[in-house]
Chains A and B, each alone.
Chain A
């Protein structure tokens, strides 16, 4: 019994051994089926995924295009420097890491602040610079200690540099790190791929307007990476194509003469070549150093620039809107001729005031200018003549005529953010104000507009475009800063062909009357002192824009605070017979146009037409040359 029991047990055991063996085979077959699925049937899919794992496309940022002036002088360039960068997501404790780095690399408080600011603005996976422009010694020190700092790297990067600092900063603008707003624009342009490796973007000025030209085409490197994302070796490389270079219509030397002529004063100047619309100089002072923005501006610098009462960040040439004052008069006179409301020789007796419905509009010369014809009205800048004229023309005619000259509308210059200014009209007033009583146009307001005051407000570039158009006998061009764009790869030049915007419906004989009067201004009128002894014939018109309404009181310059003093304006062109340069100058709180603005125009003309430098001023490079000798 026991034996059979044992025998039975053994048989049962052997059966179960067999079952176990069968189970093992089934399980292994299952595994094998899984392997066949993965390695044969799905092989292509996993092969691709393994390749995707292994190969990473790393964008290679192209060199940004250069900006040079019309004579080839470099205004914006790039230089290569080492930066110390931290990828915050790969660092456990940022503070500790930075403290650790600070033990052997100079990291100042401002570097930390800037880094913090970048951190707040950055995308999640960015590597951000804690220090830029490392010395070779600092690079060596870091490399020796690199293992202690995961997530920290040294990178060779190209930096934008504006070699002349604040000089012409409002023209050039600056680049800064890409922000959300820029990403919006990049997406709009559909160039996300091209910007994958880029972390800078043009923010203002030419840098912004020509961003797509200057940026270039990113290259790509096919790199084998490990699981940590570290590049092991380069498999293939498509070289980046550098950005296109901009050659400006601007003349750096002329720009320098103009900027220096302002001295410590605030203001703007736009000089245009009338025959093309090319901008020869564009000044807005005070200005700022665009180099501050390139690595990310520190909060203190930013606050200083933004909070300054001098407003250095405002491009006055494009965004300052000022009443044109008496520089409005030549256009008023031209309107009168064109509309047949005046003949040039028609005389007006000026008693020194204009009584309009009991309100006295005063002339600036006590007792008046006597008998005034059109020539005299411009040369001596007689207000009464234009009070009466404005009343005769009516606001609608004035607004319609001035619109031809581009006043109150954007010129289309190749810098973003230009202001429109204000060309006053009943229609404008209706749109501008909400309350019914404010919307109404009063006839008295037309009188003020007639001498360039009241609601009139134009940007210096509009004033410059208008005088250039007049100088060019009514053929109007779009003012522009870039003469041509050079493709860095093919060296092909794309010229900004100046096409006339429009030819104004004017009669040449009328234009000649006005031009003759403008020459008179500089010969025997309000501009005569500034242009005494000039070796060329020039034409101009002075103007004074009221900042502070005196309400009938006497204007006394020294009694008024500086910021309440009138703006000094001057528009001019030269040589009178064949104009090569037209200019609008505005000196904020400079007083009468003849005093502050006209001498600046004179210096600009002297240099541009004769190569004559103002006394005591030599362009930096010539001074440097002399020092070398």
Chain B
């Protein structure tokens, strides 16, 4: 009886994906216990909620998700408009919408709604993909991205933009256009520079020369590279990172938690983490390759590459090769919303994998 319930409970869960996720969560708990032990309880609560959502989503077949794609997208865009009009300002950015009983950040929703919408759109137009379709898809992508950029929230807009781009890429956007866009982006960079906010420009300048303002804008990046570098090959040991324990690393439980991890577990620990992410991503790409429909292929591929984007941008910025943008380390950084979004993505992947045989059936 219990065994039956258990097997029913675990049925939609993908073993390898769950194993990699479990190991990542374990690392997250170990690191949080060192970086900010007081937050462990809340982290466990976040995990419980996120995993529950993952389990629920894993049971929803992709076809159902398809029906939800358009409504979620429309609601998401409307909420973003509402944020632009009535949103709360916190730390100089208008990101939050106060609905009276709950404060939500609609841009977070777009990280999932975006690939869902585009995958749905390409599925609808499957047999007649021409340039027009890619163009419309691009418009669908740029509308919410523009709203998020305006908030301003560079981190989230990069994630939403890339999530949409991945769908378009997997949908077969011709290489000529990709290369053309790349060239155009490169040549437009000087103009884009003027469109950036002062603080965003500053972050890029800081990346190029953090020592220019060591106690001000360069402080984050200097302290995190010191933490990583001083960790050495084997690391200083759990709870022994002086940069972390003496609070030299800012935001050490959220965006900069990688510096804490890296200082205490060294190059070996970093390698383990990279391998773990690579395995998770590899599993995701495999699921995408084996998915039944174009919708699920595109969705699975895009979601997997979002995980990659999170991981790469975060580790890149903490180690000082990318500008500082607010992107957490996936499954490790403290933060309920991001965790829920990420686990939602895992749930979708699991659902797609369970339903891969749909057509054959």
Taking beta carbons and an 8 Å cutoff, which residues of A are in contact with B?
Answer: 2, 5, 9, 12-14, 16-17, 20-21, 24-25, 27-28, 30-32, 34-36, 38-40, 42-43, 45-47, 49-51, 53-54, 224-228, 232
Do the beta carbons of A40 and B267 come within 8 Å of each other?
yes
User: Which residues of B (215-264) have their CB < 8 Å from a CB of A?
Assistant: 223, 225-233, 242-243, 246-248, 262
Do the beta carbons of A32 and B271 come within 8 Å of each other?
yes
CB distance from A28 to the nearest CB of B (A): 5
Number of residue pairs A-B, CB distance < 8 angstroms: 126
Question: How far is A51 from B241 in the complex, measured between Cα atoms in Å?
Answer: 11
User: From DSSP, what is the main secondary structure of chain B's interface residues?
Assistant: helix
Q: Which B residues lie within 8 Å of A51 (CB)?
A: 242
Q: Which B residues lie within 8 Å of A35 (CB)?
A: 228, 262, 267, 270-271, 319
User: Which residues of B (116-146) have their CB < 8 Å from a CB of A?
Assistant: 126-127
Do the beta carbons of B308 and A16 come within 8 Å of each other?
no
Known: A20-B305, A50-B242, A227-B246. A13 touches B170 (CB 8 A): yes
Question: How far is A49 from B242 in the complex, measured between Cα atoms in Å?
Answer: 11
Question: How far is A454 from B172 in the complex, measured between Cα atoms in Å?
Answer: 111
Do the beta carbons of B278 and A25 come within 8 Å of each other?
yes
Q: Would you give 19 A-B contacts (Cβ < 8 Å), ordered by A?
A: A14-B289, A16-B169, A21-B282, A24-B308, A27-B312, A28-B277, A30-B321, A34-B316, A35-B262, A39-B229, A39-B267, A39-B270, A40-B232, A43-B229, A46-B226, A46-B230, A53-B242, A53-B246, A226-B247
Q: Which A residues lie within 8 Å of B77 (CB)?
A: none
Do the beta carbons of A46 and B225 come within 8 Å of each other?
yes
Do the beta carbons of B274 and A28 come within 8 Å of each other?
yes
CB-nearest residue of chain A relative to B300? A17
Name the 7 nearest CB pairs between A and B, nearest first: A46-B229, A50-B230, A226-B246, A38-B229, A227-B247, A46-B230, A39-B267
B281 CB within 8 Å of chain A: yes
Known: A31-B315, A31-B316, A45-B229. A17 touches B243 (CB 8 A): no
Do the beta carbons of A53 and B266 come within 8 Å of each other?
no
Do the beta carbons of B301 and A20 come within 8 Å of each other?
yes
User: From DSSP, what is the main secondary structure of chain A's interface residues?
Assistant: helix
Do the beta carbons of A224 and B246 come within 8 Å of each other?
yes
B356 CB within 8 Å of chain A: no
Q: Which B residues lie within 8 Å of A31 (CB)?
A: 274, 312, 315-316, 319, 321
Q: Type the 1/0 row for B296-314, where 1 means its CB is closer than 8 Å to any CB of A.
A: 0100010011001000100
Do the beta carbons of A53 and B319 come within 8 Å of each other?
no
B81 CB within 8 Å of chain A: no
Q: Which A residues lie within 8 Å of B172 (CB)?
A: 9, 12-13, 16
B294 CB within 8 Å of chain A: yes
Q: Which A residues lie within 8 Å of B227 (CB)?
A: 50
CB distance from B324 to the nearest CB of A (A): 15
Question: How far is A147 from B232 in the complex, measured between Cα atoms in Å?
Answer: 37
CB-nearest residue of chain B relative to A36? B267
Do the beta carbons of A21 and B243 come within 8 Å of each other?
no
B288 CB within 8 Å of chain A: yes
Q: Which A residues lie within 8 Å of B148 (CB)?
A: none
Do the beta carbons of A28 and B270 come within 8 Å of each other?
no
Do the beta carbons of B321 and A34 come within 8 Å of each other?
yes
B13 CB within 8 Å of chain A: no
CB distance from B153 to the nearest CB of A (A): 23
